[in-house]
Each structure stands twice: as structure tokens, then as C-alpha cells.
Amino acid sequence: MGNAENYNKIFDNVVEVYHRTDNVDTPVNNPYEPGTLEFYLYLKCWIDVVQWHLEDIIRDPNIDPVDALALKRRIDKSNQDRTDVVETLDSYFLGLYGDVAKSPDATINTESPAWAIDRLSILASKIYHMRQETARTDVGEEHRRKCEDKLAVLLQQREDLSQAIDALIDDIAHGRKYMKVYKQMKMYNDPNLNPILYGKK
């Protein structure tokens, strides 16, 4: 069993646990030991699942503008939290494989392991909600059929991405590829870098 299969099990569990309450204010109850890979995978996916639903709520055409602004601020913070956890995951992989001797022809990948795992985490929510669409009874057969086709594509995408992640990590572990951790350096949240913020000091 590849590592990505274990990641997917954690992500599917997070999505299932969240939907027991289906409430964006439900506190995360991470069952894993803090500092472990599993802990950060669970936390990462919880952030993604909550943000998925925040993004749904803010698109309500009848939402109060004051509430919408508060939600926008919350989504901004969620995006920053998501980035922080991804960078923590990449630091974990770098610590795990940082001392591996690189092959003379080793190359760097277009994305790091954690940013690929980020996409895998988001896929768990896409698959869950698309599967829900295939079971709706308030829509016609054509809607369900189209959603079944989309679900099949998402499941294939998860299989392909899982294999690619396992291959990437194996390549890094054996020196065929190497990784670097580039901080995202988001500027819009930084009061020293966003001119709208530092201009009002």
C-alpha cells in the first residue's frame, strides 16, 4: 500500500467526520499526536473542508454584506492557515529526506510533495460532494448522469495523483529528485508588505 492511500483514508475520514455536524464552527478534534505527519494531514484536510463550506455560504445571493465581509476575512485567514500547514508538511519531508545523497542527474519537481498532497486533500471534498449530487432525488436523471461522469473523472484523478505523489516521494527518498521549501511569502496579509495596510499606519 502506497503512502498516498493512507493520506486518502485520513482525508476521507475528515470529510465524513465534518459532515456529522456540517457546521463550519465545529472545532477540529484531531485524533493524532501533535507533530506527527498524520496530525498535520488531518489538520490540513479539516481546514480545506471548512473552507469549502465557507466558500459555499459566501456565494448566497441574499447574504448580508456585513456577514459577507466577515466571511471574506475568515476565508483569508483560512487560506493563510492552509499555506502554513502545507509549508509545515514540506518541512517534514525535507527533514526526512534532506540528507539523502542526490544522484548527479537529480532534478527538482515542479511542485513539492506537500503542495501535491494539498490537491489530494481538496479532491476528498470534491469527491464527497459530487457523490452527493449523484444521489439527489430533487433533480432529473440527466443531472445525476452528468455528475456520475464527473465523479468517475474525480476518482481517476485521485488515483493518478496518488500514484504521482508516491512516485515523487520515492524519487526523493532515493535521490533521483530533490526538493526545496519555498515559503509562499503572501503579501496581502502582511501589514509591512500590503500598501493598503502600511499606508494607513
Give me the residues of the chain with pLDDT under 50, please.
1
Cβ neighbours of residue 97 closer than 8 Å, sequence gap 6 or more: 172, 173, 179
For 94, the grid coordinates are 525535507
pLDDT at 30: 98
pLDDT at 1: 44
Q: Look up the pTM and report it.
A: 0.91
Q: Round to whole Å and give the CA distance between 121 and 124.
A: 5
pLDDT at 183: 74
Identify the CA nearest to 86 among candidates 115, 120, 46: 115
6-21 core/surface letters (b: 16 or more CB in 10 A; e: else)? ebbebbeebbebbbee
